[in-house]
Structure 1
Amino acid sequence: MTPVTGPEADGSVLAVDVGGTTMKGSIVDGTGRLRHTVVVPSRVADGADPVEAVRVLCRRLRDDALTLGATPAGIGVVTPGIIDEAAGVVRYASNIRFRDVPLRALIGDDLGLPVAVGHDARAAGIAEAVAGAGRGLDNFLLLPLGTGIAATVVVHGLPVPGTTWSAGEVGHMPVHPGGEPCSCGQRGCLEVYASAGGLARRYVRLGGAPGLDSRAIAEAYETDPLARSVWDDATEALGLALATLTLTLDPARIVLGGGLAQAGEQLFGPVRKALAAALAWRDAPELLPSAFGATAAQVGAAVLARRAAGLPVPDGWGALAPVAS
């Protein structure tokens, strides 16, 4: 851990990415470098209060920053779900059991700092637009593939929130009508088949040994027929969903991020093939991995924190952040 001292303390911010499995908090200095990161369980599965867990992490991160000699100017907190970013309220997030949580007010009271609350996928899209795989593009899509799946729809350089702040919830796009049940109450959702969490759950549901995550399933592709079947279902479902999004939005590029994208060509190859096969009369858009990997939402949260604090965000800011796998 490198202390944040001297000139680099100016403009430092805090960034928190709340996921269904873990929460990641970082201190980001004025140049966009992640100087210190804390990863803790989300506490959803053990019945603890998930809102309090977020508040505890934010307070811990603020204290860590002060110990390291940094005086944070603001904090950005991003979560999945339906986020009213103007009000700073998480309206609904099934993966983390949030409903109508006034997160900006709660954290602002705790820390006494400017607070930005945003959607994790849209924040990741902001990071890619400022300094990553979407830099210089007016129109692109980003899909982080993690515990769930959401998309950032960037149009004219800005992420689209939608009328009810729920644009991009493509994880609940039906890809198999009448298919397997989803936690949202629908059936056949993309998230069931092609998210990292969905892959692992399907593998067990179909008779596989428990304990394998999506990475282990990918590694077992050549030796385990069930792993192969689950993986092939995932790439086919993802290719179909991307074709629908392509025909709807005509993006210049599609960027895949999150932990599942770390599988590299094992994921990208069959998804490109499925996408192209579903587009009979037009070429598929370019399909690329995220420049930031699993760190994208944190970098985006830091951008939101700087904006909330009234600090500039130059083009390319955050490009020095490490890529997390």
Structure 2
Amino acid sequence: MRHVIALDVGGTGMKAALVGADGALLHEARRATGREHGADAVVRNILDFAADLRRVGEERFGVPAEAAGVAVPGIIDAEHGIAVFAANLGWRDVPLRQLLSERLGAPVALGHDVRTGGLAEGRLGAGRGADRFLFLALGTGIAGAIGIDGRVEPGAHGSAGEIGHIVVRPDGPPCGCGQRGCLERLASASAVTEAWAAASGDPDADAADCAKAVESGDPRAVAVWQQAVGALADGLVTALTLLDPRTLIIGGGLAEAGETLFLPLRAAVDERITFQPRPGIVPAALGDTAGCLGAGLLAWDLLAAEGDLESLPTARPGTDPRQSTEVST
């Protein structure tokens, strides 16, 4: 069975899979990133994990993986396969594509974690069938992926989609990027957590607790939530004006609040738009499998670009690409 290796590297854990030509997860596994042991240890763990997956594929399907895709956080140079910088992994200028290719004996594609997850959502998930989409991940920060005709736009310098650093409140709190009032300082899950911990007086309260308090009608929580939703709507209207997507897909931790987020967000966007058509505003569909699925798509796309695949993979009609034949932990 033809398959590729997919790796989704996070700050604390790695998710990996063997992905079939139809986008289905054939085998899944997870491991700790091991960042507490330093950047070199993280790289070794990635290489060892990929090699183990290659062995699994050979044993179960009789053939090795034809390629690999890896999604990593931080700044990347996808063209040259370099993981340029990731603060939470402690690395700089890691030639990850070369290292993995040498270890696996197969071609390797490198992608940014959010853009890779957006690729999966656009092609296999909530944006399936949309010619233009914008994917937003509302997590510790906010980042986006601009989808055009089934592909994600990297930008001229590999940083397209950094919507979290649109300034929506010029007099707002300082951001690590050097600006003030960036969207992610006001509407990310971490921003809501910070605001709700202060408003509630509970230092352990988080964004999920705030959402529950909103649902119960707590006026303090409603005020925090409205501020975050208003800032998010302001950022989205800017993005809609520039990009005119057909579908807006929202994922990440804050999106787990469901309609507690989406109902007021749709209303807030409607209040702000004038001439701009409002796209469908929908929750992400693939959950935490999006990164692995997207990394697999990167690998299949690489094979297609090299002439080793006649067509790009899409999910089979009526199937859920999140389903795997086996899960390993």
Q: TM-score range by the shorter chain?
A: 0.7 to 0.9
For 1:1-325, what aligned pairs fall within 5 Å after superposition?
10-43=1-34, 46=36, 48-50=37-39, 52-64=41-53, 66-67=55-56, 69-70=60-61, 71-204=64-197, 208-221=201-214, 222=216, 225-309=219-303, 310-311=308-309, 312-316=311-315, 320-322=320-322
Residues 22 and 315 of structure 2 are in contact (CA less than 8 Å); yes or no, is this contact kept in structure 1?
no
Deviates more, 1:237-246 or 1:273-282: 273-282
**In 1: Cα distance, 2:149 partner to 2:279 partner:** 17
- Deviation, 1:126, is 2.0
- Residue 143 of structure 1 aligns with an amino acid whose one-letter code is L
- For residues 183 and 115 of structure 2, the distance between their equivalents in structure 1, rounded to whole angstroms, comes to 18
CA distance in 2, matches of 1:127, 1:173: 24
Following superposition, the deviation at residue 249 of structure 1 comes to: 1.2
Structure-2 change in CA distance of 1:197 and 1:164 (3 Å): same
Is the alpha carbon distance of 1:103 and 1:230 closer, same or farther for their aligned partners in structure 2, counting shifts above 3 Å? farther
C-alpha displacement of 1:54: 4.6
Name stretches of at least 5 consecutive residues in structure 2 with no aligned partner: 325-329
Alpha-carbon RMSD across the aligned residues, in angstroms, is 2.8
Q: Which amino acid aligns with 1:184?
A: C
**Greater shift in the superposed pair: 72-81 or 248-257:** 72-81
* Cα 1:297/1:20, change in 2 over 3 Å: same
Contact between 1:131 and 1:317, CA under 8 Å: does it hold in 2? Answer: no
Q: 1:103 to 1:178 in 2, by over 3 A?
A: farther
Higher relative contact order (CA 8 A, sep 6+): 2
CA change 1:274–1:42 in 2 (3 A) is farther
State the match for 2:327 in structure 1: none
Distance 1:25 1:169, change over 3 A: same
SS of 2:142's equivalent in the other structure is: coil
Q: Indicate if the aligned counterparts of 1:126 and 1:300 stay in contact, CA closer than 8 A.
A: yes
- Tell me how many residue pairs correspond in the alignment: 313
Q: Is the 8 A contact 2:97 2:109 kept in 1?
A: yes
Quick one: structure 1 residues 75 and 147, their matched pair in 2 at CA, closer, same or farther if it must change by over 3 Å? Answer: farther
Q: What displacement does 1:251 show?
A: 1.2
Residues 262-310 of structure 1: CA distance to partner in whole angstroms, max 9, x if unpaired? 2211111111111111113444221111231332222111111223344
Question: What are the Cα deviations for residues 241-262 of structure 1, in whole angstroms up to 9, with x where unaligned?
Answer: 1100011111111111223222
Q: How many angstroms does 1:98 deviate by?
A: 3.9
Distance 1:157 1:57, change over 3 A: closer
Question: Identity of paired residues, percent?
Answer: 41
Alignment partners' CA distance in 1, 2:34 and 2:169: 31
* C-alpha displacement of 1:21: 4.6
Secondary structure of 2:231's partner? helix
Which amino acid letter does the alignment assign opposite residue 313 of structure 1? L
| Structure 2 SS opposite 1:297 | helix
User: Is the Cα contact below 8 Å between 1:21 and 1:42 reproduced in 2?
Assistant: yes
| 2:52 alignment partner AA | D
